[in-house]
Amino acid sequence: MNGDGACELYEFLKAGHPDEEGKEEIAWNFTKFLVGRDGQVIARFGPTTTPEEIAEALPSHL
């Protein structure tokens, strides 16, 4: 997910979408990304974010 051998998908997801501490690196496997129909990242969520909290972000992006 991080470093020289990072998968291109993770590089794309992280680019320009830092966590709440301002870091683009993924610190934990359960980091979540909300991706729109156009393939662009809408939001990044930390490991403790629940599906219900993510659902709250959906209506404004549909």
Q: What is the pLDDT of residues 4-49, one digit of tens each?
A: 888 899 999 999 999 889 989 888 778 999 998 899 999 999 999 9
Domain boundaries, the chain: 8-61
Indicate if the pLDDT at residue 62 is higher than 70.
no
Indicate if the pLDDT at residue 50 is higher than 70.
yes
b/e map 21-56, b = 16+ CB within 10 Å: eeeeebeeeebebeeeeeeeeeebbeeeeeeeeeee
